[in-house]
Amino acid sequence: MYSPTPGRFLLRMRTPVSEEFAGGYPSDEEWHGYISNSDRVLLKTINFASPNSAGAVCIDPACTWVEQWVHRAGPREKIYFKPEEVKAAIVTCGGLCPGLNDVIRQVVITLEIYGVKSIVGIPFGYRGFSDSDLSEMPLSRKVVQNIHLSGGSLLGVSRGGPSVSDIVDRMQEKGINMLFVLGGNGTHAGANAIHEECRNRKLKVAVVGVPKTIDNDILLMDKTFGFDTAVEEAQRAINSAYIEAHSAYHGVGIVKLMGRDSGFIAMHASLASGQIDICLIPEVPFELHGPHGVLTHLKYLIETKGSAVVCVAEGAGQNLLQKTNAKDASGNIVLGDIGVHIQQETKKYFREIGVHADVKYIDPTYMIRACRANASDGILCAVLGQNAVHGAFAGYSGITVGICNNHYVYFPIPEVIAYPRPVDPNSRMWHRCLTSTGQPDFI
Ligand SMILES: Nc1ncnc2c1ncn2[C@@H]1O[C@H](COP(=O)(O)OP(=O)(O)OP(=O)(O)O)[C@@H](O)[C@H]1O
Ligand SMILES: O=P(O)(O)OC[C@H]1O[C@](O)(CO)[C@@H](O)[C@@H]1O
Ligand SMILES: [Mg+2]
């Protein structure tokens, strides 16, 4: 629809003062290092022999192999925006996540290398588009240079906010033609709706997402940024629970970790720690009471090894709690507190059977996400932030960046948010977790 111009993202640079290469390297070099629009990354890499193989996802009983590809991310030789005509905006929505500042920083730095002069941050999520007392924040390399050294978001975050049509109205008023949206499932649903609305209004706007969630619940990706850091932070809580339980007579440690719909944090934190005896996640139903229940197994553990540690994801066992019907500003269901419930039921159970138990409960809540990204997330954020900008200049909109089979790719947003990505109870990783904890089925 729009005619492309040669890319201005210089893969090799000289200091501008060097007269010889004042305009960068000569463009007729054979090596250029750009990504071809035809480069593809394989979505699924395992050819499953049958649906019975662990973690198999098959389209038919014969598990016929179908190649599925996604576009490779990175800088293109031809770009679809003139940098001097770009006004880029960045917005961070939903809950906090380690690495938000790292991504903001890389988006700004990369935009500047393309030659974009007008870069702003929208304060406090989508809300920043509508609240008249919130003004956009000018961003530059100088402003963002050190922001990755602390957690949180330089721009602030929020849930809820204005309608999509109001957001696009404000974007038109402000002349924003590139929007970088950092958020989870909800934020991406919003980003895709903004993209559609811009298309309906025939606006030349690129809307590009960067999936942000410690829960790791975005489909098709190896992992989302912040997840590794959250798992690492969770180790402190688990280790404390272990030490408390291990040092007490008949000690029981219980740790609740975030994970609204998916148990990835609980599963990985349990596996990483090697200190968990029982891991409970939303995807795997369990009973507390009865001969196969969690409490019977806790009694067995107390009798056989003297102490036990339980790790439970916040979304687990919601069927055991009373529903409240309450919702947050974004429409997410407010969950019942499964951690407190297990703590109370454990105390009651051991009291009733006349066995001493010293129950200690730890809920690190926001401590696992209100922290600075670790080194591995720092790198992931850097690559995703840079690729988001390359994607916008390549002329994509309604896409999000991600890592797939260790390669960086662009996904169409609807494909990755169709539903929250769950832990597959038939996957090798869940089986590995069960091998590590040694827990039985609780149903
Ligand atoms: N279906 C939707 N359409 C348009 N906007 C949405 C939709 N769902 C959520 N949003 C908006 O996206 C923003 C963030 O949503 P939400 O609070 O669910 O966080 P999230 O992006 O899912 O991140 P987290 O992983 O922290 O929950 C909110 O401002 C909300 O109004
Ligand atoms: O209290 P807040 O900010 O709504 O965030 C809590 C939610 O954020 C998440 O970590 C997702 O980012 C969920 O696991 C959790 O339910
Ligand atoms: Mg969400």
pLDDT tens by residue, 386-414:
999 999 999 999 999 999 999 999 999 99
Residue 293 annotated in ligand binding: no
15 is in an annotated binding site: no
pLDDT band at 241 (very low <50, low <70, confident <90, very high): very high
Active-site positions?
Answer: 215
**Spacing, Cα 408 to ligand 3 middle (Å):** 23
For position 21, what pLDDT does the model report? Answer: 55
125 lines ligand 1 (CB under 6 A): yes
Using alpha carbons, select from 263, 311, 282 the residue that is nearest to residue 429.
263
CA distances from 432 to 138, 189, 272, 300, 436 (A): 48, 33, 11, 22, 6
Q: Among candidates 38, 46, 35, which has minimal Cα distance to 9?
A: 35
Ligand showing the shortest atom-to-Cα distance for residue 168: 1
Do the Cβ atoms of 54 and 428 come closer than 8 Å? yes
**Which ligand is located closest to the Cα atom of residue 330?**
1
The annotation status of 137 as a binding-site residue, yes or no, is no
289 in Cβ contact with 233 (< 8 Å): no
Distance CA 76, CA 196 (A): 24
**Average pLDDT in the chain:** 94
Binning pLDDT at 50, 70 and 90, where does residue 24 land? low
Residue 369 annotated as part of some ligand binding site? yes
Atom of ligand 2 nearest to the CA of 328: 4
Q: Can you say how many angstroms the Cα of residue 129 is from the centroid of all Cα atoms in its chain?
A: 23
Nearest ligand for residue 366 CA: 2
Give the residue, by CA position, lying nearest to ligand 1 atom 20. Answer: 184
pLDDT of residue 438: 98
| pLDDT score, position 132 | 87
Q: Whose CA is nearest to atom 5 of ligand 2?
A: 95
Tell whether ligand 1 has an atom less than 6 A from the beta carbon of residue 128.
no
Token pair belonging to 417 = 């948010």
Under the banding of pLDDT at 50, 70 and 90, the label for residue 1 is very low
pTM for the full model? 0.95
Q: How far is the CA of 220 from the centre of ligand 2 (A)?
A: 21
CA dihedral 322, 326, 332, 335 (to 10 degrees): -30
Spatial CA neighbour of 243 closest among 283, 287, 273: 273
Taking CA atoms, 149 is separated from 56, 100, 146, 395, in Å, by 41, 11, 6, 32
Nearest residue (by CA) to ligand 1, atom 18, is 186
The answer to whether the CB of 159 falls within 8 A of the CB of 330 is yes
CB count within 10 Å of CB 43 equals: 16
- Helix, coil or strand: residue 60: coil
For residues 225 and 388, what is the distance between their CA atoms, to the nearest angstrom? 14
User: How confident is the model over 216-239, as a mean pLDDT?
Assistant: 98
| Pocket residue to mutate for ligand 2, from 100, 229, 258, most atoms within 8 A of Cβ | 258
Whether 128 is in the pocket of ligand 2, judged by its Cβ within 6 Å, is: no
Is 339 annotated as ligand-binding? no
Q: CA-to-CA distance for 152 and 99, rounded, in angstroms?
A: 8
pLDDT in tens, 44-102: 899 999 999 998 988 899 999 889 999 999 999 999 999 999 999 999 999 999 999 99
CA of 261 to the centre of ligand 3 (A): 9
